Structure 1
Amino acid sequence: MSDEILLKVTIDNITVEVPAGTTILQAARKIGGDVTPPAMCYYSKLQGSGGKCRTCLVEVSKGSEKDPRPMPKLVASCRTTVMDGMEVKNITSPRVLEARAGVVEFLLLNHPLDCPICDQAGECHLQDLSYEHGKQGSRYEFQKRTFKKVDLGDYIQLHMTRCILCYRCVFTADQLSPKREHGVLDRGDHAQIATFIQKNLHNEFIGNVIDVCPVGALTDKTFRFKNRVWFTKPVNAHRHCDKCCGEVQLWLRGDEVFRVTARKDEWGEIKEASNGKTGWICNECRFEKKNLADWIIEGPTNVNRHSVISQNKYVGLVKPTETFPKIMKGRNPKLLMDIHSVSEVNKPNIHLSQLERPAHSTDFNQ
């Protein structure tokens, strides 16, 4: 029997029991749904992350059973631990909704509205955040700050204009690589992610900064401008790799592998691998293994219907049966609507339904 002490916390009138030391955000994720505050900088797999974007602000209406006084200001749920008897308001608090809309507006001050050409479109956390928690317009009327695109090695491109300074890539490089070569330079509105004297990022696991980036600031150069994510089909696959877990997500169009990423959970964070460790993947698996024969396909990824990537890819979808063949005793409707002999559109010797290719202009009467 476990001697672990459980604390009761109520979030938006839903009570849950969590171990001591759990943050409000982690407790809300245990409940799930709209009760969970959004997070742009917090990443449970990265030590020290959180407390920078302020999108996860919540209202603590009751501190604890021993001290029921409310906290006077909104607090960052990713950095505030729960107390026994604590009561928290997220979507039920007008203060939180108004503050979150202001944070979204602030994050979008310098962010370019280039979603139609951004590779992150369709899986961008900032897109979801602005749609669900932002307002229709912006009051910002001044010129936005801009930066030149920088190649961080052979595989990664940095588009600093899109960056929201969440620090996730810095923590990833610091905790996965033996020597971090990039970080935040300058201060205030001049702050930027950069490398020391334009150095390239050379490390076997540096490609993971692409997966943790919540916006399109760090992109995969091998996938850049090649396709839209909602036109590709995500499937789970694995291979034997002596550097990483080898468990990945392939993004296919037909039999062509357009890109390789780590597997992600419902919060957009990298999943745990079968060995119990975080499923970070190496550069070889991510950038160099682009042939379907390199991988063992496990099956389609179960994508949340909330995502645009899930379009036409529902797992276990039951299609309604066709009633026409039943009514007409198995006869195909094409046989009943065959107007080939009387049509003057296509050539008499061409049967369009029997072509094993798309129809061309040469198949029709001019």
Structure 2
Amino acid sequence: MAEEQPLLKVTIDNITVEVPAGTTILNAARQIGGDVVPPAMCYYSKLQNSGGKCRTCLVEVSKGSEKDPRPMPKLVASCRTTVMDGMEVKNITSQRVIDARNGVVEMLLINHPLDCPICDQAGECDLQDLSFNHGKDGSRFDFEKRVFDKHTLGPHIQLHMTRCILCYRCVFTADQLTNKREHGVLDRGDHAQIATYIEKSLDNDFIGNVIDVCPVGALTDRTFRFKNRVWFTKPVDAHRNCSKCCGEVRLWMRGDEVFRVTARKDQWGEIATASDGKTGWICDECRFEKKKTSDWVIEGPTKVNRQSVIAQNKYVGLVKPPEFLQEVMDGTKPRYMLDIHSVSGVNEPEIRLDLIDGPAHSEDFKIADEKRKELEQ
């Protein structure tokens, strides 16, 4: 019987934890949790060789180990640096780390378009959270931003290379879930981009997972494109018997309508482990084709972090006060007293929003072709 390896002690922000040998500083911090955990935009524990690209997880090693207590002269990437026995690390307690992280965020936002109001990733974007904590209220970049043409990657995926931060997650995902590698990153420096050869790998049944691993809005679901805001939808866990994948997904619903289907994610924003112990990648059939509640067995509402914008008005066990408006109006349902179309020209003029059974759908807000021509003139 092999001897059990001793655990190594590492102290991160004055909190000590014991981890096995070979554990990275980032994963050791994740065992502690909370603000001690450095942010990660490129590292993905479910993908081999990921990490070391974005530099947002930089930390300061103030003590190398018990045998060699000298500090490391430079900040190190916590996702690629393994712990040593007696190592002491500073994350949020180091001003050097905070200043460096602010600089990394500023660099990531140099060419990133500030189109959050129209981006489908808004509300669940890692870059939004990162910039909120470490961004500045202005930009020192006075030059023209880098711009790429949009690419339609098959019928289900849209590539906005202008938003890409070159984290390589989609490259590793398509490479490790596809039988053959036909894409990657072309060019260097400011001209680097995800190669259009990614289109050739779209015949794989699991290529839709590149949408889930993307930390920004570079890869989005075309079936969900511009249909709704994520905080207006309600996430619920569901499953089905699927011959291709685990069939355990997260439905994003509004009323009884399923707007999109994604894989379940853990507290670190990564694909969660399925009930069979494997990574919960889902197939394209579950993701893009099963958009009816009758296709799924609903398990219940997803437990969302209360700090997330998605959690607004979706707390589990929330008791809402009773509505007395119908009783006041003698059983008559409330309706809109304003002709919205005459004011904004948003919905079709013949559609009365107050008579719609359930929440309004994106189809109800399309401007008629004749009205659009009038507005353009």
Q: Return the TM-score normalized by structure 2.
A: 0.86
| Structure (1 or 2) with the larger CA radius of gyration | 1
Q: Which residue number corresponds to residue 363 of structure 2?
A: none
Q: Return the TM-score normalized by structure 1.
A: 0.88
Structure 2: how far apart are the matches of 1:71 and 1:197? 39
Pair 1:190-2:191 in alignment = yes
CA contact (8 A) 1:49 1:171 kept: yes
Structure 1 range deviating more: 193-202 or 45-54: 193-202
Q: Give the C-alpha shift of residue 245 in structure 1.
A: 0.1
Residue correspondence of structure 1 range 113-128 to structure 2 within 5 A: 113-128=114-129
Q: What SS does structure 1 have at the residue aligned with 2:294? A: helix
Structure 1 vs Structure 2: percent identity of aligned residues?
Answer: 79
Structure 2: how far apart are the matches of 1:205 and 1:25? 28
Q: Which residue number corresponds to residue 130 of structure 2?
A: 129
Structure 2: how far apart are the matches of 1:264 and 1:18? 24
Pair 1:263-2:240 in alignment = no
Q: Deviations over 1:11-42 (max 9, x none)?
A: 00000000000000000011011000000000
Q: Which residue number corresponds to residue 18 of structure 1?
A: 19
Structure 2 stretches of 5 or more lacking a match? 340-377
Q: 1:333 to 1:109 in 2, by over 3 A?
A: closer
CA contact (8 A) 2:169 2:210 kept: yes
Q: Give the C-alpha shift of residue 131 in structure 1.
A: 0.4
Task: Report which of the two has the higher share of helix.
Answer: 2
CA contact (8 A) 1:159 1:217 kept: yes
Pair 1:355-2:332 in alignment = yes
Residue correspondence of structure 1 range 210-359 to structure 2 within 5 A: 210-317=211-318, 352-356=329-333, 358=335
Q: Give the C-alpha shift of residue 136 in structure 1.
A: 2.0
CA contact (8 A) 1:237 1:296 kept: yes
Q: 1:70 to 1:252 in 2, by over 3 A?
A: same
CA contact (8 A) 1:234 1:301 kept: yes
The one-letter amino acid of 1:238's match is H
The one-letter amino acid of 1:270's match is I
Structure 2: how far apart are the matches of 1:318 and 1:28? 36
The one-letter amino acid of 1:294's match is D
Structure 2: how far apart are the matches of 1:6 and 1:40? 28
Structure 1: how far apart are the matches of 2:87 and 2:14? 11
Structure 1: how far apart are the matches of 2:128 and 2:333? 41
Q: What SS does structure 2 have at the residue aligned with 1:29? A: helix
CA contact (8 A) 2:326 2:333 kept: no
Q: Which residue number corresponds to residue 51 of structure 1?
A: 52
Residue correspondence of structure 1 range 146-165 to structure 2 within 5 A: 146-165=147-166
The one-letter amino acid of 2:173's match is T
Structure 2: how far apart are the matches of 1:200 and 1:353? 60
Q: Deviations over 1:306-333 (max 9, x none)?
A: 11000000113356x78xxxxxxxxx89
Q: What SS does structure 1 have at the residue aligned with 2:143? A: coil
Structure 1 stretches of 5 or more lacking a match? 323-331, 339-351
